[in-house]
Structure formats: structure tokens, C-alpha cells
Amino acid sequence: MRVLLSVLALILLAQPANAQQRCPGGDTLVDVALTSDRGGVRFYNTKTLTDLKRMTGPGNYGNGERVLGLTRRVLDYRLQARTRTTTTDGRRYCVSLSRVDLHLGFKDFEVYIARKYRPGSCAYRVTKEHELTHVALYRRELADSLAAFKARVIDAAMREPVVWTSDINATTQAMLNRLSRRLQADLRRLEDNMDRANSAIDTPEAYRQEHNKCRDW
């Protein structure tokens, strides 16, 4: 799934106590807050084997391979910011970041098990366990990355300079766009790590071991 990025700006406007040309705030720390959500799990048992193979997309499985289960996940990435805004004459403003709020988590996982395998059957149980292992791996990779990701956000936010401008909204949006671009490589790295961890249990040998657990395939 592609990451959906939501960038919002909350602008705080304050009048200075006295008129001065120096732009304040350049040496002030940016407050960074990080929240996360592990995501719930929703189970679906209504798709056929053909439906599931189609849902995986072209090229993911060979013509002779069956897709017995499928886990879909969406990484929920939201970036918000507040700015300090001061002015000396009401026409030009000094804008600097004061706070960045980052949410990095999962929306609910969607776990699909082929409807051929009914709840209570061995095949259903083994397929469900396999898909829940995928969910656990996604959650583990996210949890392991949060501290480093927050540090990266702090570094990126502190590198954002204060700016004199006559257009507060455009300047704030430009700051957020730059901050977001600096984080894209980190997001791609997280996605790659999650995919790598999950591919380790989607091997022919792993499938053979699971197939041998049941006789009702």
C-alpha cells in the first residue's frame, strides 16, 4: 500500500512586545510529539482462492500457486505542525516551527482467509495463524523503528530555518513540505524492513511445513 500523507498547518499569530528587525526563535527548540497505533485486525472469510490471487496483484505468485490467505495493511502517517509568527509592522512576518506532531501507526489490518476453509477447520486455523504472524511482524518492525524515527523528525525540524515573509500560509506550507520530503527516505526504509521481515515466512519451505499440518486443503 502506498503511504497517504496528510500535512496540516496550524498557525499561531502573536504580536511582538516591541518593534525589532531581528527575527526571533532561531535558537529555540522545536517540540516534537510522536503517537502510534498498532491497528486492530479484521477477518474476512468470503473471498475465493481466485479472488485472493487477484487481490495480490500481478507477478506476485506463479500460475500454479494458490493464495490461501492474505493480509492487507495501511501505514498511517500524519504530520502536523505549529509555527511561531511575529511581526514588526503588520506586513512582514517572521515564521519558525514551534511544534511538530507525528502520527505513525497502522490502520486496521484486513486478514482474508479463502472461504473454502471454514472456521473450525484445520486449514482455517493454520492459515489464520500464518496471517497473524504477518501482523505481528509488521507491528514489531514499526515498534522497533519509532525511537529512531522520532530522532530523525527532531533533526529535520531543527534544520528548518526561520523565515521573514509576507505570506504566512505559503511559507508554513513550504516548511512542512520540506520536512515531509526529508522523511520520505526513512518511510521507505521502514516499508522495506517490514516487507523483508514478512517475506522470510513466505517461502516454499514454510508453505510446505504448514501444508503438512492439515489434511483438509
Question: What is the tally of helices (H) and strands (E) in the chain?
Answer: 4, 8
pLDDT in tens, 137-161: 999 999 999 999 999 999 999 998 8
Cα 37 to Cα 180: distance, rounded to the nearest angstrom: 20
What are the residues whose beta carbons fall under 8 Å from the beta carbon of 152, sequence distance 6 or more? Answer: 182, 183, 186
Query: In this structure, are residues 9 and 81 in contact, taking their beta carbons and an 8 Å threshold?
Result: yes
Q: Name the helix (H) or strand (E) containing 114.
A: none
Q: Is 184 exposed, middle or buried (0-12, 13-18, 19+ CB in 10 A)?
A: exposed
- Mean pLDDT over each residue of the chain, to the nearest integer: 85
Overall size of the chain counted in residues: 217
CA 179 from centre of chain: 15
pLDDT in tens, 102-148: 999 999 999 999 999 999 999 999 999 999 999 999 999 999 999 99
- The three cell numbers of residue 1 are 500500500
Q: Backbone dihedral region of 192: left (phi > 0), alpha (psi from -120 to 50 degrees) or beta?
A: alpha
In this prediction, residues 165-183 reach a mean pLDDT of: 91
Q: How many other CB atoms are found less than 10 A from the CB of residue 177?
A: 11
